Amino acid sequence: GQSLEQPSEVTAVEGAIVQINCTYQTSGFYGLSWYQQHDGGAPTFLSYNALDGLEETGRFSSFLSRSDSYGYLLLQELQMKDSASYFCAVNYGQNFVFGPGTRLSVLP
Amino acid sequence: DGGITQSPKYLFRKEGQNVTLSCEQNLNHDAMYWYRQDPGQGLRLIYYSQIVNDFQKGDIAEGYSVSREKKESFPLTVTSAQKNPTAFYLCASSKSRGTLAKNIQYFGAGTRLSVL
Protein backbone atom coordinates (compact mmCIF):
# COMPACT_ATOMS: atom_id res chain seq x y z
CA GLY A 1 0.00 0.00 0.00
CA GLN A 2 0.86 3.65 0.02
CA SER A 3 1.81 5.21 3.34
CA LEU A 4 3.71 8.33 4.31
CA GLU A 5 4.67 9.27 7.85
CA GLN A 6 5.55 12.68 9.28
CA PRO A 7 6.01 13.98 12.82
CA SER A 8 2.77 15.55 13.99
CA GLU A 9 4.33 18.67 15.50
CA VAL A 10 7.62 20.56 15.47
CA THR A 11 8.51 23.69 17.43
CA ALA A 12 11.44 26.02 16.78
CA VAL A 13 12.46 29.61 17.46
CA GLU A 14 12.68 32.46 15.03
CA GLY A 15 15.94 32.46 13.06
CA ALA A 16 16.60 28.78 13.65
CA ILE A 17 16.81 25.89 11.17
CA VAL A 18 14.27 23.07 11.28
CA GLN A 19 14.02 19.76 9.41
CA ILE A 20 10.71 18.02 8.80
CA ASN A 21 11.05 14.36 7.85
CA CYS A 22 8.84 12.24 5.63
CA THR A 23 9.26 8.49 5.57
CA TYR A 24 7.32 6.26 3.24
CA GLN A 25 6.43 2.65 2.52
CA THR A 26 5.73 2.87 -1.16
CA SER A 27 7.60 2.64 -4.43
CA GLY A 28 7.28 3.44 -8.09
CA PHE A 29 6.43 7.09 -7.55
CA TYR A 30 7.66 9.85 -9.82
CA GLY A 31 8.56 12.42 -7.20
CA LEU A 32 8.21 13.80 -3.69
CA SER A 33 6.60 17.21 -3.17
CA TRP A 34 6.21 19.53 -0.19
CA TYR A 35 3.27 21.85 0.44
CA GLN A 36 2.63 24.52 3.06
CA GLN A 37 -0.81 25.20 4.48
CA HIS A 38 -1.68 28.02 6.85
CA ASP A 39 -4.70 27.58 9.11
CA GLY A 40 -7.89 27.81 7.10
CA GLY A 41 -6.02 28.27 3.85
CA ALA A 42 -5.17 26.29 0.76
CA PRO A 43 -1.95 24.29 0.40
CA THR A 44 0.75 25.96 -1.67
CA PHE A 45 3.63 24.25 -3.41
CA LEU A 46 7.11 24.59 -1.90
CA SER A 47 9.51 22.09 -3.44
CA TYR A 48 9.80 18.93 -5.55
CA ASN A 49 12.35 16.12 -5.82
CA ALA A 50 12.23 13.79 -8.79
CA LEU A 51 15.75 12.52 -8.22
CA ASP A 52 17.74 11.74 -5.08
CA GLY A 53 19.55 14.68 -3.61
CA LEU A 54 18.98 18.21 -2.47
CA GLU A 55 16.81 20.86 -4.14
CA GLU A 56 17.22 24.41 -2.89
CA THR A 57 14.63 27.17 -3.26
CA GLY A 58 15.49 30.23 -1.23
CA ARG A 59 15.12 29.52 2.50
CA PHE A 60 13.56 26.13 1.76
CA SER A 61 15.40 22.99 0.68
CA SER A 62 14.12 19.49 0.12
CA PHE A 63 15.94 16.18 0.03
CA LEU A 64 15.03 12.73 -1.24
CA SER A 65 16.73 9.36 -0.76
CA ARG A 66 14.84 6.56 -2.48
CA SER A 67 17.26 3.92 -1.17
CA ASP A 68 16.48 5.00 2.41
CA SER A 69 12.76 5.61 1.73
CA TYR A 70 12.74 9.08 3.17
CA GLY A 71 12.85 12.73 2.41
CA TYR A 72 12.91 15.96 4.35
CA LEU A 73 12.10 19.62 4.11
CA LEU A 74 14.65 22.03 5.56
CA LEU A 75 13.57 25.50 6.55
CA GLN A 76 16.30 28.02 7.31
CA GLU A 77 16.18 31.45 8.96
CA LEU A 78 12.76 30.69 10.38
CA GLN A 79 10.23 33.50 10.45
CA MET A 80 6.98 33.79 12.37
CA LYS A 81 5.06 33.53 9.10
CA ASP A 82 6.49 30.01 8.61
CA SER A 83 4.13 28.75 11.33
CA ALA A 84 1.91 26.44 9.32
CA SER A 85 1.32 22.79 8.46
CA TYR A 86 3.67 21.11 6.02
CA PHE A 87 2.72 18.10 3.92
CA CYS A 88 4.85 15.74 1.89
CA ALA A 89 3.24 14.03 -1.09
CA VAL A 90 4.26 11.43 -3.64
CA ASN A 91 2.85 11.35 -7.15
CA TYR A 92 2.25 8.40 -9.42
CA GLY A 93 1.73 10.29 -12.64
CA GLN A 94 -1.48 12.17 -11.96
CA ASN A 95 -2.37 10.41 -8.70
CA PHE A 96 -1.10 12.06 -5.52
CA VAL A 97 -0.84 10.64 -2.00
CA PHE A 98 -0.32 13.10 0.85
CA GLY A 99 1.25 12.56 4.24
CA PRO A 100 -0.63 13.44 7.46
CA GLY A 101 1.17 16.77 7.82
CA THR A 102 3.50 18.37 10.37
CA ARG A 103 2.41 21.41 12.30
CA LEU A 104 5.31 23.84 12.70
CA SER A 105 5.16 26.44 15.43
CA VAL A 106 7.74 29.22 15.31
CA LEU A 107 8.31 30.96 18.63
CA PRO A 108 9.73 34.47 19.06
CA ASP B 1 -5.24 36.43 -13.01
CA GLY B 2 -5.13 32.68 -13.51
CA GLY B 3 -6.21 30.40 -10.74
CA ILE B 4 -8.73 28.01 -9.28
CA THR B 5 -12.05 29.21 -7.96
CA GLN B 6 -14.12 27.18 -5.54
CA SER B 7 -17.63 28.09 -4.49
CA PRO B 8 -19.30 28.46 -2.17
CA LYS B 9 -16.83 29.12 0.63
CA TYR B 10 -19.28 27.73 3.22
CA LEU B 11 -22.05 25.22 2.59
CA PHE B 12 -24.62 23.62 4.84
CA ARG B 13 -26.29 20.34 4.05
CA LYS B 14 -29.50 18.98 5.43
CA GLU B 15 -29.78 15.27 6.13
CA GLY B 16 -30.68 13.34 2.99
CA GLN B 17 -29.76 16.20 0.69
CA ASN B 18 -27.30 16.17 -2.20
CA VAL B 19 -25.08 19.22 -2.53
CA THR B 20 -22.69 20.26 -5.30
CA LEU B 21 -19.38 22.04 -4.84
CA SER B 22 -18.09 24.07 -7.73
CA CYS B 23 -14.49 24.14 -8.99
CA GLU B 24 -13.38 26.20 -12.00
CA GLN B 25 -9.84 26.76 -13.29
CA ASN B 26 -8.47 29.04 -15.99
CA LEU B 27 -4.93 27.68 -15.92
CA ASN B 28 -5.51 25.44 -18.94
CA HIS B 29 -4.55 22.44 -16.82
CA ASP B 30 -5.44 18.95 -17.95
CA ALA B 31 -5.72 17.29 -14.55
CA MET B 32 -8.11 18.22 -11.75
CA TYR B 33 -8.57 16.75 -8.26
CA TRP B 34 -10.87 16.75 -5.25
CA TYR B 35 -9.56 16.24 -1.74
CA ARG B 36 -11.19 16.01 1.63
CA GLN B 37 -9.43 17.36 4.72
CA ASP B 38 -10.65 16.68 8.24
CA PRO B 39 -9.44 18.84 11.17
CA GLY B 40 -5.77 18.26 11.91
CA GLN B 41 -5.49 15.67 9.17
CA GLY B 42 -3.87 15.34 5.77
CA LEU B 43 -5.53 15.45 2.38
CA ARG B 44 -7.39 12.41 1.13
CA LEU B 45 -8.10 12.00 -2.56
CA ILE B 46 -11.77 11.66 -3.52
CA TYR B 47 -11.66 11.76 -7.33
CA TYR B 48 -9.33 12.94 -10.04
CA SER B 49 -9.62 13.57 -13.75
CA GLN B 50 -6.84 13.62 -16.30
CA ILE B 51 -8.91 14.67 -19.32
CA VAL B 52 -12.42 15.78 -20.20
CA ASN B 53 -15.11 13.11 -19.86
CA ASP B 54 -12.83 10.84 -17.85
CA PHE B 55 -12.27 10.51 -14.11
CA GLN B 56 -10.98 7.98 -11.59
CA LYS B 57 -11.91 7.17 -8.02
CA GLY B 58 -9.49 8.06 -5.28
CA ASP B 59 -9.18 6.51 -1.85
CA ILE B 60 -12.52 7.74 -0.46
CA ALA B 61 -14.89 8.02 -3.42
CA GLU B 62 -17.89 6.38 -1.75
CA GLY B 63 -20.75 8.83 -1.29
CA TYR B 64 -19.35 11.31 -3.82
CA SER B 65 -19.76 11.83 -7.55
CA VAL B 66 -18.06 14.07 -10.13
CA SER B 67 -18.31 15.10 -13.76
CA ARG B 68 -15.81 16.57 -16.19
CA GLU B 69 -17.77 17.93 -19.16
CA LYS B 70 -15.44 20.86 -19.69
CA LYS B 71 -11.69 21.21 -19.18
CA GLU B 72 -12.23 24.19 -16.89
CA SER B 73 -14.80 22.65 -14.57
CA PHE B 74 -14.83 19.71 -12.17
CA PRO B 75 -17.86 19.85 -9.84
CA LEU B 76 -18.16 17.51 -6.86
CA THR B 77 -21.51 16.26 -5.59
CA VAL B 78 -21.74 15.08 -2.02
CA THR B 79 -24.61 12.65 -2.01
CA SER B 80 -26.90 11.58 0.81
CA ALA B 81 -24.96 8.31 0.86
CA GLN B 82 -22.02 10.16 2.43
CA LYS B 83 -22.96 9.87 6.10
CA ASN B 84 -20.17 12.02 7.50
CA PRO B 85 -19.68 14.85 5.02
CA THR B 86 -18.53 17.58 7.41
CA ALA B 87 -15.03 18.54 6.23
CA PHE B 88 -12.94 21.02 4.29
CA TYR B 89 -13.01 20.22 0.55
CA LEU B 90 -10.14 21.28 -1.66
CA CYS B 91 -10.02 21.30 -5.44
CA ALA B 92 -6.69 21.28 -7.27
CA SER B 93 -5.34 21.18 -10.79
CA SER B 94 -2.03 20.32 -12.40
CA LYS B 95 -0.48 20.65 -15.84
CA SER B 96 1.72 17.63 -16.34
CA ARG B 97 0.38 14.45 -17.81
CA GLY B 98 2.09 11.37 -16.49
CA THR B 99 5.64 12.45 -17.13
CA LEU B 100 8.69 12.69 -14.95
CA ALA B 101 8.52 16.46 -15.08
CA LYS B 102 7.77 18.48 -11.97
CA ASN B 103 4.09 18.00 -11.27
CA ILE B 104 2.79 20.88 -9.16
CA GLN B 105 -0.73 21.02 -7.82
CA TYR B 106 -2.47 24.37 -7.53
CA PHE B 107 -5.26 24.53 -4.99
CA GLY B 108 -8.43 26.54 -4.66
CA ALA B 109 -9.38 28.27 -1.40
CA GLY B 110 -11.64 25.43 -0.36
CA THR B 111 -15.26 24.87 0.66
CA ARG B 112 -16.26 24.13 4.25
CA LEU B 113 -19.21 21.78 4.34
CA SER B 114 -21.24 21.30 7.49
CA VAL B 115 -24.30 19.22 8.24
CA LEU B 116 -27.35 20.90 9.78
Instruction: Give just the sign of the alpha carbon dihedral B89, A92, A84, A79.
Output: negative
Q: Do A94 and B106 touch (CB under 8 A)?
A: no
What DSSP line would sit under B21-56, residue for residue?
EEEEE-S--SEEEEEEE-TT--EEEEEEEEETTEEE
- Distance from the Cα of A72 to chain B's closest Cα (Å) equals 17
Res. A1 pLDDT band, cuts 50 70 90: low
pLDDT tens-digit map of A29-83? 888 999 999 998 999 999 999 889 999 989 999 999 999 999 999 999 999 999 9
Nearest to B104 among A48, A87, A98 (CB): A48
Nearest to B100 among A33, A50, A98 (CB): A50
- What is the three-class DSSP state of A80? helix
> Residue A34 and residue A6: Cα distance in Å, rounded?
12
Look at residue B72 in the predicted model and tell me its pLDDT.
97
Q: Do A45 and B104 touch (CB under 8 A)?
A: yes
Q: Report CA Rg, chain A.
A: 13
Instruction: Report DSSP state, residue A35.
Output: E
Please check the confidence at residue A28 and state whether its pLDDT lies above 90: no
Where chain B has pLDDT below 70, the residues are 1, 96-101
Buried b (16+ CB within 10 A) or exposed e, B22-51: ebbbeeebbbbbbbbbeeeebbbbbbbbbe
Look at residue B16 in the predicted model and tell me its pLDDT.
86
pLDDT tens-digit map of A4-13? 999 999 999 9
Look at residue A103 in the predicted model and tell me its pLDDT.
97
Higher pLDDT, A86 or A97: A86
Look at residue A105 in the predicted model and tell me its pLDDT.
97
Chain B residues within 8 A of A100 when measuring between CB atoms: 41-42
